[in-house]
Amino acid sequence: MLNFTVKQLAADLAAKRASSVEVTQYFLKRINAMGKALNAFISVDEEQSLAAARAADRLIAAGKAGPLTGIPLAHKDIFCARGWLTTCGSKILSNFVAPYDAHVIERFNAAGAVIAGKTNMDEFAMGSSNETSFYGPVRNPWDTAAVPGGSSGGSAAAVAARLAPAATGTDTGGSIRQPAALTGVCGLKPTYGVVSRYGMIAFASSLDQAGPFAKTAEDLALMLNAMAGFDARDSTSLERAPEDYTCDLAKPLKGLRIGLPSEFFADGVAADVAKAVEQAIAELRKLGCDTVEVRLPNMQLSVPVYYVLAPAEASSNLSRFDGVRYGYRAPEYADLLDMFRKTRAQGFGAEVKRRILIGTYVLSHGYYDAYYIKAQRLRRLIAQDFVEAFGKCDVILGPTSPTTAFRIGEKAGDPVQMYLSDIYTIAVNLAGLPGMSIPCGFGDRNHPVGLQLIGNYFAEAQMLNVAHQYQQATGWHLRMPPGTG
């Protein structure tokens, strides 16, 4: 059961070789045994989890089970879940119990899945290392002195350490793909609008997108089948016909054109990462893929563009956390304005405050045109680069992260170096494209290396096909961190 995929667990449940209660208890025991050392979870509620497992067993007994019925899943603590503490990794929401379910949680509940717990994350999803959480840093199962990546590091670490067979995360500038790469698991960011943001606590609304973590591309497809779908409560949710993301997994790759952007293989990428990615490219060529060189000339602008637009949206979204209606409130204050000031000063961490200040500045009178409007224009140029690249190829490929996992605290004092950890992922969010990361080898310190696949709009099934065929020919995704067996 330890290294079973979601599909394998579902087969065991359907064949009555195990019950959902037994499977859920197994993973809860692992969370209790290993969760504190990794700090991967913020909250676990065994009573609620086992109640959901018993309900799933009744569905299975009645012949009403689906592919995810009875499967325990970990959820990033950014998704509201009725009756569950939902903190977003922040002191300001440390006492907030959600009164409703996010759309993603609703979809998994309808599928009969079980909530195994809520995972640790960078505060309000602001970070690339999972060090900004009010609850402390998450540790990488491959090296507990190293970061797991962020902001969805708790979910990635939980899947890597086999504390859950799969998990959810969110990706604003690479926050699913980068931690997936650094922990040696698979992570998928769908096309913007494919998965509803309703009930997902907002960071940057035009960039945020929910997606799954799992051990295999096939499991990602099963998860996305449940997560995707139109939701009228989210004005950015796209109304599209339902799609089966598992349909093309077995399709041969012969003739598929893989684009290799020169910008992904420049001086910024570490030698050990580049070596593993080159070996993955060679394997894909063996599988019948053709490679072509493409260019993304404005990709170098993606980090500065992102750090104008994302903080601007964050400064607006986070204005609702003021201590009036819910969440933390400063214990002592002189008047209402003083309560606002002290609540936000005490409730937000340093990185969140930094981004609120930057966002407020670029939106202010006199700077709006110089920064915010200019960044929006550059965003369009970045998206246009991808349109032109996809005229020459079907899928774009490169490293997910320029390095493998770095040590906890190594970049904490240098925000710019930390921001550059997402240099290869941010442009995908700015363009609204789908992207994913899968394991493709190990670096010099036996840290996992991630291979990033970028698809055209709504090409998730094609990306998953490439990833699945690669995983049929390799075994990197089956490796387990030492000491987790």
> Tokens 């054109």 appear where?
257
152 is known as an active-site residue:
no
> Tokens 């970070």 appear where?
127
Q: Which residue in 151, 155, 196, 237 is the catalytic one?
A: 151
342 is known as an active-site residue:
no
DSSP E strands: which ranges in 241-297?
257-261, 290-294
29 is known as an active-site residue:
no
What is d(CA 47, CA 315) in angstroms, rounded to the nearest whole number? 37
- Classified as helix, coil or strand, 289 is coil
Cis before 237 (ω within 30): no
What is d(CA 125, CA 128) in angstroms, rounded to the nearest whole number? 9
Strand pairing report for 395-399 and 448-455: antiparallel
Torsion of CA 173, 459, 377, 305, to 10 degrees: 10
Nearest to 408 by CA among 126, 149, 159: 149
Instruction: Please say whether the dihedral angle defined by the alpha carbons of residues 350, 351, 352 and 358, taken in this order, is positive or negative.
Output: positive
What is d(CA 405, CA 143) in angstroms, rounded to the nearest whole number? 9
| Position 114, amino acid | V
8 Å CB contact between 359 and 314: yes
Q: Which residue in 20, 76, 128, 152 is the catalytic one?
A: 76
Q: Which residue in 133, 175, 315, 437 is the catalytic one?
A: 175
Residues designated as active site: 76, 151, 175
